[in-house]
Amino acid sequence: MSTETPPKEFERAPNHFTDRVGSPDWPLEAGRYRLVVSRACPWASRAVIVRRLLGLESALSMAVADPIQDERSWRFTLDPDGRDPVLGIRYLGEAYYAREPEYDGGISVPAIVDVPSGKLVSNDYPEITLNLEIDWAPLHRDGAPDLYPEPLRDEIDEVNDAVFREVNNGVYMAGFATRQRSYERVAHRLFERLDALEERLTDGRYLVGDTITEADIRLWVTLVRFDAVYHGHFKCNRRKLAEYPALWAYARDLFQTPGFGDTVNFDHITRHYYQVHRNINPTGIVPIGPDLRLWLTPHGREDLGGRPFGDGTPPGPVPPGETVPPIG
């Protein structure tokens, strides 16, 4: 038996609060809950995109945290007086402790908070989007797309499982690896999966079926951050996203689709990763690239057919107060 110490790998902590809106304890009511996000966070970005595509803006208000955390984690310093105007709190952690005063775990986004009580309902990011898609259906806009169609759920779940292990979480496992062997193992798995996705998307416009689904949203939130932060900051540098013809065109296609690019704040993304992760980037210097204007270049994916919103329609304009800085 080898006595060599096994290589360490990054482990993501399980989510502690897993309740669903629409359950007896948390009935579905328009205006009762608040979605707390950071535009820097890919896990939170999933919920932002789904909320927008389904037209839940008027039913589920949204708070955007500062991309730069302090020792108490996510804070509302983007709001007047550093306090969320709806929840009346300075830190997201206050909603966690209102729910469980002795809680001593991490404070993460996305989070759904019950406005009347100020208590956290859920920080279960894989389930929050499914909750919005299924349990919140009575409050969806007219023409909302079906992002989790029942006949395709098994295939969507299978794709999501592989994408989570090797892409969504894989970039973090590479970035936070502290040993060479561990880093190389997860980095190789990441690019093997990206190679497989490149092949899958060469002849198909979307990952599952001919419309946008939950699977596309989960992959895309990592792709949109790839060249800006994961390639350099997390050492995922065997290839840039822009060096994958199909994946890069696929990512641009979705970026230019209402509900995707209009939710992205690259300034929040780059400042968060490069300034918060001082163990990886001690100087806190934020790089000037890549050229974001490339996201607006033609992608040619229309030639593959597909119906982005299926039998539904695109979402309407971004609500006032939720716009992001334009590229260009």
* pLDDT tens column, 218-252: 999 999 999 999 999 999 999 999 999 999 999 99
Q: What is the pTM of this model?
A: 0.95
**Secondary structure element (H or E) that encloses residue 252, with its range:** helix 245-255
CB 217 within 8 A of CB 49: yes
CB 15 within 8 A of CB 108: yes
| Reported confidence tier of residue 5, pLDDT bands at 50, 70, 90 | very low
Mean local confidence (pLDDT), 257-267: 98
Residue 1 is predicted with a pLDDT of: 34
Structural domains in the chain?
Answer: 33-139 (3.40.30.10), 152-304 (1.20.1050.10)
Please check the confidence at residue 7 and state whether its pLDDT lies above 50. Answer: no
CB 151 within 8 A of CB 63: no
Residue 258 is predicted with a pLDDT of: 98
CA–CA distance, 9 with 148 (Å, rounded to integer): 32
Residue 3 is predicted with a pLDDT of: 31
Please check the confidence at residue 2 and state whether its pLDDT lies above 90. Answer: no
Please check the confidence at residue 48 and state whether its pLDDT lies above 80. Answer: yes
By CB neighbour count within 10 A (0-12 exposed, 13-18 middle, 19+ buried), where does 298 fall? exposed
CA–CA distance, 36 with 300 (Å, rounded to integer): 35
Q: What is the dihedral of CA 189, 42, 10, 95, to 10 degrees?
A: -160
Alpha helices in 54-205 (DSSP H): 93-99, 125-134, 153-163, 170-175, 180-202
CA–CA distance, 90 with 106 (Å, rounded to integer): 17
SS3 33: strand
Cis preceding linkage at 290, omega within 30: yes
Please check the confidence at residue 61 and state whether its pLDDT lies above 90. Answer: yes
Mean per-residue pLDDT of the chain: 95
Please check the confidence at residue 78 and state whether its pLDDT lies above 90. Answer: yes
Any catalytic annotation for residue 41? yes
Of 12-26, 142-156, 252-266, 299-313, the least confident: 12-26
Mean local confidence (pLDDT), 243-269: 98
Please check the confidence at residue 8 and state whether its pLDDT lies above 60. Answer: no
Please check the confidence at residue 14 and state whether its pLDDT lies above 90. Answer: no
Tokens of 87: 């929840």
74 is in an annotated binding site: yes
Residue 163 is predicted with a pLDDT of: 98
Q: Each residue of 183-225: pLDDT tens digit?
A: 999 999 999 999 999 999 999 999 999 999 999 999 999 999 9
CA–CA distance, 253 with 230 (Å, rounded to integer): 20
**Secondary structure element (H or E) that encloses residue 63, with its range:** strand 61-64
- Percent of the chain at pLDDT exceeding 70: 96
Q: Which of 41, 148, 230, 274 is catalytic?
A: 41
Residue 15 is predicted with a pLDDT of: 77
Pairing mode of beta strands 61-64, 33-37 = parallel
Please check the confidence at residue 82 and state whether its pLDDT lies above 80. Answer: yes
* 141 phi-psi bin (left φ>0, alpha ψ -120 to 50, beta other): beta
Q: Which residue has the tokens 């840039």?
A: 240
Number of Cβ atoms within 10 Å of the Cβ of 327: 14
| Reported confidence tier of residue 328, pLDDT bands at 50, 70, 90 | confident
Q: What is the amino acid identity at position 54?
A: L
Q: Which of 125, 172, 183, 273 is catalytic?
A: 172
Q: Each residue of 17-38: pLDDT tens digit?
A: 999 999 999 999 999 999 999 9
Mean local confidence (pLDDT), 143-152: 98
